[in-house]
């Protein structure tokens, strides 16, 4: 991102992004530059950087590169997909469907009324291999110290998720400390996003997420998808599943294993800017 380059700030349930339009072939910033731009005092500030690159003519509207604020690359970002859909719809009035090529595969996005965006997040992939858990490493051993744990699961939405189902909502300290320890555990070859889930009396899922490469965020779209998919697959919930995070609600619809999973939620363009240094 060169000096005087324009950018757009967007957010989705408080998970915030800077979007760069690199469809002119500009290269993405390196990890050090990303960390500097992500700094909420001396930079612009964001959870993830989303860079748009040219799509293949007939299939995708654009290719998407995703980076966490620590400079690490990510293969999927559910909230980010809704933010990009919002940006493209502003750029191309009259269109309400787009196809984005992400490192995890093609993603269809649909702009709906009432400020909602619907995203086809593909099919969840369950199990240790899907999230890069070291073969032979027992999940129970890894999670022995987590208080009030009812169950746990591993789900990939193109990016890796460890989901802890708890009796009681987690404290902020548990999300911070246990989330930080587990998200960087050497037993996960590329790290992992860590979700702490409980069930509300209304059947909704209450979720707190410690994101890989970021830390605790107000909402994580792919984690909401992964958690809902795990509950549906184990019979603990029926589709559609309401997932409530501090930033707000996502609705996850997954009819079953042979079907793609759809996520619906808001996304908002906050401001456009120019980076001066």
Ligand X SMILES: N[C@H](CCC[C@H](N)C(=O)O)C(=O)O
Give the residue numbers annotated as catalytic, written as ranges.
Answer: 77, 220
**Residue 48 in marked binding region:** yes
Shortest Cβ 74–ligand X spacing (Å): 4
Containing 118, the helix (H) or strand (E) segment is: strand 116-120
Instruction: Give the shortest CB-31-to-ligand X separation in angstroms.
Output: 13
Q: Are 67 and 28 a contacting pair, CB within 8 Å? A: yes
**Cα dihedral 147→140→153→246 (10° resolution):** 20
Residue 263, SS3? strand
159 binds ligand X (CB under 6 A): yes
Which of 159/227 has CB closer to ligand X? 159
Query: Any binding-site annotation on 242?
Result: no
φ/ψ of residue 210, rounded to 5: -100, 105
Smallest separation (angstroms) from ligand X to the CB of 224: 8
Count of Cβ atoms closer than 10 Å to residue 206 Cβ: 18
Distance, CA of 17 to CA of 9 (rounded, Å): 6
The rounded Cα 118 to chain-centroid distance in angstroms is 14
Of 49 and 136, CB closest to ligand X? 49
CA dihedral 178, 183, 188, 190 (to 10 degrees): -170
* Positive/negative CA dihedral, 243, 267, 270, 38: positive
The 177-216 contact track toward ligand X, x by CB under 6 A, reads ----------------x-----------------xxxx--
Q: Which listed residue (48, 102, 195, 227) binds ligand X by CB under 6 A?
A: 48
112 to 141: interface string for ligand X, x by CB under 6 A = ------------------------------
Closest contact distance (angstroms) between CB of 35 and ligand X is 15
159 is in an annotated binding site: yes
* Minimum distance of ligand X from residue 273's CB (angstroms): 21
> 47 vs 61, which CB is nearer to ligand X?
47
Candidate list 1, 8, 11, 15; residue touching ligand X; CB under 6 A? 15
Q: Cα angle vertex 131, ends 129, 135, to 5°?
A: 40
CA distance 100 to 109: 8
By CB atoms closer than 10 A (0-12, 13-18, 19+), residue 196 is: buried
Where in 57-116 is the site for ligand X (CB under 6 A)?
A: 68, 74, 77-80
User: In the stretch 225-264, what mask flags binding to ligand X with x, by CB under 6 A?
Assistant: ----------------------------------------
Residue whose CB is less far from ligand X, 4 or 107 = 107
Q: Give, for 224, the enclosing helix (H) or strand (E).
A: helix 221-233
Other Cβ atoms within 10 Å of 258 Cβ, number: 6
Q: Where do contacts with ligand X occur on this chain (CB under 6 A)?
A: 15, 47-48, 68, 74, 77-80, 159, 193, 211-214, 220-222
């Amino acid at each position: 991102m060169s000096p005087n380059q324009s950018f757009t700030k967007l957010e989705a349930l408080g998970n915030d992004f800077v979007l760069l339009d690199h469809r002119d072939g500009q290269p993405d910033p390196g990890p050090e530059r990303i960390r500097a731009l992500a700094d909420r005092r001396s930079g612009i500030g964001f959870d993830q950087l989303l860079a748009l690159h040219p799509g293949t003519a007939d299939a995708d509207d654009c290719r998407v590169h995703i980076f966490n604020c620590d400079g690490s690359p990510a293969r999927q970002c559910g909230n980010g997909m809704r933010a990009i859909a919002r940006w493209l719809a502003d750029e191309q009035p009259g269109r309400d469907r787009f196809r984005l090529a992400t490192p995890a595969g093609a993603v269809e996005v649909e702009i709906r009324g009432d400020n909602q965006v619907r995203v086809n997040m593909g099919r969840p992939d369950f199990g240790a291999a899907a999230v890069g858990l070291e073969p032979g490493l027992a999940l129970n051993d890894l999670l022995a110290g987590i208080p009030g744990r009812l169950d746990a699961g591993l789900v990939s939405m193109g990016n890796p998720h460890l989901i802890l189902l708890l009796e009681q909502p987690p404290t902020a300290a548990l999300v911070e400390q246990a989330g930080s320890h587990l998200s960087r555990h050497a037993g996960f070859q590329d790290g992992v996003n860590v979700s702490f889930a409980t069930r509300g009396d209304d059947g909704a899922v209450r979720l707190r997420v410690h994101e890989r490469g970021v830390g605790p965020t107000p909402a994580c779209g792919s984690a909401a998808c992964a958690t809902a998919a795990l509950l549906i697959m184990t019979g603990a919930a029926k589709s559609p599943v309401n997932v409530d995070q501090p930033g707000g609600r996502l609705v996850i619809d997954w009819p079953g294993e042979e079907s793609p999973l759809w996520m619906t939620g808001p996304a908002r363009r906050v401001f456009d800017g120019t980076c001066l240094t």
